[in-house]
């Protein structure tokens, strides 16, 4: 195909040239309209949205204040650290397991250094977490008492104060809180137990009161003794009714019922040994219970 044959395709009549020109004009006009016109529908106004936007700055400021606030750190007793709590504190599983094994033996750590001895935590970790340890008040008093007692023994020229032994059954709240290791709560607990029992019959009963450590019990024994008043009345075990027996602190209703049944079938009890044969009888407390009974 030569040039002349191709040129035939580019020959237009006057009407065709006019049509082509008009087509270009229409294309340009449409492009300008598309470029400058906004075909998006107008946004609808929502009052709730406007109200939310107006409050957004206030919300953001409150969030910022909360973010910048220092977290309140609560004190805790390290004896009751759980697996999760220990993990959050940075303790390893071995350190947590040592603490849990120690607690299973019904033992307690009483100060930060003892916590480190049990768990083997590093000095750096102990320095971080120990300021937030909180031990019971009686432990703090016991530690203070040990320190004071040690200082006292080194003063050879100081005369020992004579201890006046009081009757535990007449002791007041003020008498009890004078003892090292006993605060307001423990004093009220001792008085409440005495009220339930009517009278203490043995200083060994101090071991039954929750919260009294062996050291505090020893202090109580050195300052108090048991003296039963003339008004103290023992329970007639062979004549007491079911109601009277069930009101006794060391007997529950089920045990009282068994005592009455056993008594009616086998006759009177002669001694505490006969009574201890009943199923469910607290044999470990037989000596103390016998002091409340009359055979």
pLDDT of residue 222: 93
Rounded Cα distance between 252 and 67, Å, is 56
Q: First vs last Cα of the chain: how many Å apart?
A: 143
The residue-averaged pLDDT of 148-152 equals 52
**pLDDT per residue as tens digits for the range 14-47:** 787 888 888 888 999 888 887 777 666 665 556 6
**pLDDT per residue as tens digits for the range 233-265:** 899 999 999 999 999 989 989 999 999 999 999
pLDDT of residue 8: 63
**pLDDT per residue as tens digits for the range 215-233:** 999 999 999 999 988 788 8
% residues pLDDT > 90 (the chain):
35
Q: 227 near 285, Cβ under 8 Å?
A: no
pLDDT band at 171 (very low <50, low <70, confident <90, very high): very high
More confident residue, 183 or 1: 183
- Whether 204 has a pLDDT exceeding 90, the answer reads yes
Please tell me if the domain spanning 166-225 has the same topology as the one spanning 235-294.
Answer: yes
Facing residues of 224 across strands? 166
pLDDT band at 172 (very low <50, low <70, confident <90, very high): very high
Kindly report the backbone phi and psi dihedral angles of residue 57, in degrees, each rounded to the nearest multiple of 5, phi listed first: -65, -40
pLDDT band at 63 (very low <50, low <70, confident <90, very high): confident
pLDDT of residue 156: 47
Rounded Cα distance between 295 and 285, Å, is 17
Of 287, 295, 282, the residue nearest 205 (C-alpha): 287
Question: Structural domain boundaries of the chain?
Answer: 78-136, 166-225, 235-294
More confident residue, 136 or 115: 115
Q: 255 near 211, Cβ under 8 Å?
A: no
Tokens (6 digits) for 119? 């768990």
The residue-averaged pLDDT of 184-195 equals 93
pLDDT band at 269 (very low <50, low <70, confident <90, very high): very high
C-beta neighbour count of 272 within 10 angstroms: 17
pLDDT band at 158 (very low <50, low <70, confident <90, very high): very low
Measured at the CA of 50, the angle between CA 48 and CA 55, to 5 degrees, comes to 95
Length of the chain: 295
pLDDT of residue 80: 83
pLDDT of residue 141: 56
Q: Which CATH superfamily is domain 166-225 in?
A: Photosystem II 12 kDa extrinsic protein (1.10.150.320)
More confident residue, 288 or 87: 288
Rounded Cα distance between 91 and 115, Å, is 12
- Whether 5 has a pLDDT exceeding 70, the answer reads no
Domain 235-294 has CATH 1.10.150.320: yes
């Amino acid at each position: 195909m030569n040039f002349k044959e191709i040129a035939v395709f580019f020959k237009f009549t006057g009407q065709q040239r006019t049509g082509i020109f008009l087509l270009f004009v229409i294309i340009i006009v449409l492009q300008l309209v598309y470029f400058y016109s906004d075909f998006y529908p107008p946004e609808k106004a929502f009052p709730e949205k406007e109200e939310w936007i107006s409050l957004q700055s206030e919300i953001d400021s409150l969030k910022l204040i909360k973010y910048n606030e220092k977290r309140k750190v609560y004190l805790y007793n390290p004896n009751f650290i759980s697996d999760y709590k220990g993990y959050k504190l940075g303790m390893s599983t071995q350190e947590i397991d040592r603490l849990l094994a120690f607690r299973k033996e019904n033992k307690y750590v009483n100060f930060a250094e003892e916590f480190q001895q049990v768990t083997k935590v590093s000095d750096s970790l102990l320095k971080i977490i120990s300021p937030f340890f909180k031990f019971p008040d009686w432990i703090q008093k016991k530690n203070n008492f040990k320190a004071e007692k040690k200082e006292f023994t080194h003063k050879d020229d100081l005369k020992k104060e004579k201890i006046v032994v009081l009757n535990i059954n007449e002791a007041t709240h003020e008498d009890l809180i004078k003892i090292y290791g006993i605060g307001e709560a423990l004093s009220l607990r001792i008085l409440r137990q005495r009220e339930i029992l009517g009278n203490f019959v043995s200083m060994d009963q101090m071991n039954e009161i929750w919260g009294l450590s062996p050291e505090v019990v020893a202090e109580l024994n050195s300052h108090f003794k048991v003296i039963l008043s003339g008004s103290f009345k023992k329970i007639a075990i062979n004549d007491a009714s079911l109601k009277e027996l069930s009101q006794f602190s060391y007997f529950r209703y089920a045990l009282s019922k068994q005592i009455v049944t056993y008594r009616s079938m086998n006759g009177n009890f002669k001694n505490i040994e006969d009574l201890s044969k009943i199923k469910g009888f607290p044999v470990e407390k037989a000596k103390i219970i016998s002091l409340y009974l009359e055979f």
